Structure 1
Amino acid sequence: MGRTKSLPEIGAPGGPCIPGKARLFVTVDGEFFPCEKVSEVSKVMNIGNLDDGFEMKKVNDLLNVGKLTPVECKKCWALTKCSICAKELEREGKLSVDAKLSMCESVRRSTEERLKKLILLKESRTIYKI
Structure 2
Amino acid sequence: MRAITAVAALVAVVALPSPAAAATSAVTCQYIVNSYPYGFTASIDILNSGPRLDGWSLRWSVPEGTELGSVWGARMTQPTPSEMTATNVVWNSSIATGSRVVFGWTARAATSIVPTDITLNGAPC
* Structure whose alpha-carbon radius of gyration is higher: 1
Greater strand content? 2
Structure holding more helix per residue: 1
Structure 1 length-normalised TM: 0.25
Higher relative contact order (CA 8 A, sep 6+): 2
